[in-house]
């Protein structure tokens, strides 16, 4: 398989000048899409080793080629969670290559290349009108402040805040970020390596709840169990956001505006059951194939689903096309692409 094979199979797609995918503008430009899940360099750079944190100014490289999702054109599948297939086991040539792609040079370079200017370029190619930027703060980190500075009041961007659960000055940090104008807060259990139901996270959730701002958290396990024998450390981080760990939050704060990112990843069916039980829960559908999105619409409705891509790790085109294929009416499309986000953000 090559990129032309993907274009042949999905004629809604085209290739941009960078070798990335986009949906033909005439199919989507009327929706004025809000992408509820994006990152730029300033929001995620601190997760890189310090010796290679320097930003790369290069608007010509292909993010599709660099990302672990899909991890090579041969792994691409629009019908799978994460738009990729997985090998059966780590103990194979393909399995080892998959791990190298997950944590290797391509992804590191992608993060360093994800400038605001590159995001604007890719938003224009994908008819995305606005992006919600989600920083991931380290302990004593300034990722939120640096993200706000990078966008410089550009009204195409909506910036959320981020506070590390082990920060010793959580309340002060939350207050400072609110004064800077953040519109919500981002939580990253798997990046921080802290369980969503840990005492530290419960304390953070309680304080964020008091702000009455929307909260978005990565949710679900990202790697299927069929990809066996992963290192224990990877599985431990994946399980920090197992959907079972979210139950306490919805029971303790039934009116919390919490968005479960990525549609619960490989736990999409569990997410649907959870959203049926707790009618105040939202989800962004980034990484989900059209069949799963259709199941979500059928079982819980379209009113609590938000368009998201997890840019730069994914070309925005894949989530856009998944929504187009999953929806049956303009009402559903307009709500998921923009209306639901406008309502949630006020």
Homologous superfamily (CATH) of 30-61+115-345 is Metal-dependent hydrolases (3.20.20.140)
- Close Cβ partners of 192 (under 8 Å, ≥ 6 residues apart): 164, 165, 166, 240
pLDDT score recorded for residue 225: 83
Percent of residues, the chain, with pLDDT higher than 90 = 82
Q: Are 84 and 69 in contact (CB under 8 A)?
A: yes
Q: 318-337: per-residue pLDDT in tens?
A: 999 999 999 999 999 999 99
Task: Tell me the pLDDT of the chain averaged across its residues.
Answer: 95
Residue 121 has pLDDT above 80, yes or no: yes
Q: Are 274 and 310 in contact (CB under 8 A)?
A: no
Domain segments of the chain as ranges: 30-61+115-345
Task: Choose among 143, 281, 160, 132: nearest CA to 220.
Answer: 281
Residue 112 has pLDDT above 90, yes or no: yes
Could you give the CA distance from residue 153 to residue 159 in angstroms, rounded to a whole number?
10
Residue 104 has pLDDT above 80, yes or no: no
Indicate the pLDDT class of residue 258, thresholds 50, 70 and 90.
Answer: very high
Q: 301-323: per-residue pLDDT in tens?
A: 999 999 999 999 999 999 999 99
Could you give the CA distance from residue 170 to residue 201 in angstroms, rounded to a whole number?
11
Indicate the pLDDT class of residue 77, thresholds 50, 70 and 90.
Answer: very high
Q: Average pLDDT for residues 22-35, to the nearest whole number? A: 98
Q: Average pLDDT for residues 153-176, to the nearest whole number? A: 96
Q: 33-63: per-residue pLDDT in tens?
A: 999 999 999 999 988 888 888 898 877 899 9
Task: Choose among 144, 146, 149, 241: nearest CA to 183.
Answer: 144
């Amino acid at each position: 398989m090559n990129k032309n094979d993907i274009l042949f199979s999905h004629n809604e797609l085209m290739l941009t000048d960078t070798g990335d995918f986009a949906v033909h503008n005439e199919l989507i430009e009327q929706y004025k899409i809000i992408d509820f899940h994006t990152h730029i360099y300033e929001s995620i750079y601190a997760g890189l080793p310090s010796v290679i944190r320097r930003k790369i100014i290069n608007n010509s490289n292909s993010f599709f080629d660099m990302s672990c999702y899909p991890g090579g054109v041969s792994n691409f599948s629009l019908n799978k969670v994460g738009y990729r297939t997985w090998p059966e086991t780590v103990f194979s040539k393909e399995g080892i290559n998959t791990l190298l792609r997950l944590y290797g040079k391509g992804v590191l370079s992608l993060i360093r290349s994800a400038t605001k200017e590159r995001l604007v370029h890719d938003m224009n190619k994908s008819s995305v009108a606005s992006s919600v930027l989600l920083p991931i703060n380290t302990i004593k980190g300034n990722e939120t402040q640096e993200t706000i500075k990078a966008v410089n009041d550009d009204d195409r961007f909506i910036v959320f805040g981020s506070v590390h659960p082990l920060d010793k000055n959580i309340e002060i940090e939350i207050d400072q970020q609110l004064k800077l104008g953040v519109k919500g807060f981002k939580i990253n259990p798997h990046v921080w390596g802290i369980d969503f139901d840990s005492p530290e996270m419960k304390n953070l959730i309680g304080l964020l709840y008091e702000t009455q701002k929307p909260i978005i958290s990565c949710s679900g396990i990202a790697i299927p169990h069929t990809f066996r024998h992963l290192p224990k450390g990877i599985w431990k981080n994946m399980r920090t956001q197992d959907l079972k760990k979210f139950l306490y939050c919805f029971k303790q704060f039934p009116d919390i505006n919490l968005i479960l990112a990525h549609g619960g990843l490989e736990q999409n069916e569990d997410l649907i059951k959870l959203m049926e039980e707790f009618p105040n829960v939202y989800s962004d559908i980034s990484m989900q194939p059209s069949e799963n999105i259709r199941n979500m619409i059928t079982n819980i409705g379209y009113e609590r689903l938000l368009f998201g891509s997890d840019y730069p790790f994914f070309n925005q085109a894949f989530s856009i096309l998944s929504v187009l294929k999953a929806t049956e009416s303009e009402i559903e499309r307009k709500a998921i692409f923009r209306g639901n986000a406008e309502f949630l953000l006020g």
